[in-house]
Amino acid sequence: MADQPSPTAAHRRHDPEARHFASDNYAGVHPEVLAALATANGGHAVSYGEDPYSEHLQGLMSGLFGAEVAAYPVFNGTGANVLALQAVTDRWGSVICAETAHINCDEGGAPEQVAGLKLHAVPTPDGKLTPELVDRQAWGFDDEHRAMPQAVSITQSTELGTLYTPDEVRALADHVHGLGMRLHLDGARLANAAAALEVPVREFTSDAGVDILSFGATKNGALGAEAVVIMDPSSVARPRHLRKRSMQLASKMRFLSVQFEALLADGLWLRLAGQANAMAQRLADGVAQIDGVEILYPVQANAVFARLPHEVTRRLQERHRFYFWDEAAGDVRWMCSYDTTAEDVDGFLDSIRAEIGR
């Protein structure tokens, strides 16, 4: 019988120097987050959120949002969004969102299938809803033939890389609440928004009237950690049961909670997001000097949307990974991450110049 290879530790199977512009999910885990995971490891700790790290997280989140909020760590952004929207709607309810919203375009129908929600999607010029745009779908509240609008979902920063100001969020919240609905904020890139706006996160969330939000960390240096944050815990019935029913209850929750503790310590989450934002602006500034490339939207966070000839894009994709946003139009999306460097951006710009010049 031939000798069988003995089990060994995992071998590195990727290039640790590789950088791409396809997604901020491509980036690895920040070293301080890895160190925090090691700190939380070892020995036994009570499961399902009764550990000291998850208890400590509640105080951290309350301090961040300036209120006695309730935070529920979950595994991923889709789970956070679906759980949050279930928490603020009835079985006959619907959610108004931008046509480009992640819940509408990129969650595989999970809000519809898992939560049983109807999504009323509204076209927007820049990924942002306004009270006037909300009103296009905020009707038929007493019509049993139409799913009842009960919540509005916005994204900060938006899928097009744009930002809501605190005043814009407040205007939306006031309008939504006046209609008897509640406001959800998809904060998959919440840190990028806070870093770009240079205001405390509470100014465009809890203080601005947001009722519930999805707090993203995975795109900002974490290892599969998100959270649902409820601004008024008394307003949502049995969120713990909803989390279990939505298959988002982590048994070893200490490893989710401690990642937020690491990111929030000494403003690390803002510094990481600020680096990603700065690199996106560097990329946009460089691209603006290249004939044949058009920037499509204001670059306000860590995303750059551009239009360039198809053949140029295809050649670039052989050298750098990134995605089409609208292939028919030639639109692409370039994302910068917390570990994107100036050298990465400048090298990518050199590639764009070279391919445009061919």
- The per-residue pLDDT for range 13-47, each reduced to its tens digit, is 999 888 999 999 999 999 999 999 999 999 999 99
Q: What is the CA radius of gyration of the chain?
A: 21
Residues 50-72 have a mean pLDDT of 96
Residue with the larger pLDDT of the pair 1 and 222: 222
CA–CA distance, 38 with 217 (Å, rounded to integer): 18
pLDDT of 4 over the 70 cut: no
pLDDT at 176: 98
pLDDT 10s digits, 234-270: 999 899 999 999 999 999 999 999 999 999 999 999 9
pLDDT 10s digits, 191-208: 999 999 999 999 999 999
CATH 3.40.640.10 correct for 31-266: yes
- Alpha-carbon distances, residue 217 vs 80, 167, 227, 232, 351 (angstroms): 11, 25, 8, 22, 31
**148 half-sphere exposure, CB direction, 13 A CA radius:** 15
pLDDT at 3: 59
pLDDT of 5 over the 60 cut: no
pLDDT 10s digits, 40-53: 999 999 999 999 99
CATH number belonging to the domain at 268-356, selected among 3.90.1150.10, 3.50.50.60, 3.40.50.720, 2.60.40.10: 3.90.1150.10
Mean pLDDT (the chain, rounded)? 96
pLDDT of 67 over the 90 cut: no
For the chain, the structural domain boundaries read 31-266, 268-356
> Alpha-carbon torsion 252, 254, 257, 258, what sign?
negative
CA–CA distance, 38 with 103 (Å, rounded to integer): 33
Q: Please check whether residue 301 is in contact with residue 277, taking contact to mean a CB–CB distance below 8 angstroms.
A: yes
Q: What is the DSSP letter of 220?
A: G
CA–CA distance, 248 with 20 (Å, rounded to integer): 30
Q: Please check whether residue 153 is in contact with residue 186, taking contact to mean a CB–CB distance below 8 angstroms.
A: yes
Strand (E) or helix (H) holding 295: strand 294-295
pLDDT at 6: 59
pLDDT at 2: 56
pLDDT at 358: 83
pLDDT at 9: 80
Residues 266-293 have a mean pLDDT of 97
* pTM score of the predicted model: 0.96
pLDDT of 114 over the 70 cut: yes
pLDDT 10s digits, 143-172: 999 999 999 999 999 999 999 999 999 999
Residue 194: which of 102, 126, 272, 77 has the closest Cα?
272
Please state whether 127 falls in left (phi above 0), alpha (psi between -120 and 50) or beta. left
Residues 304-320 have a mean pLDDT of 96
pLDDT of 281 over the 80 cut: yes
- Cis-peptide, bond into residue 62, ω within 30° of zero: no
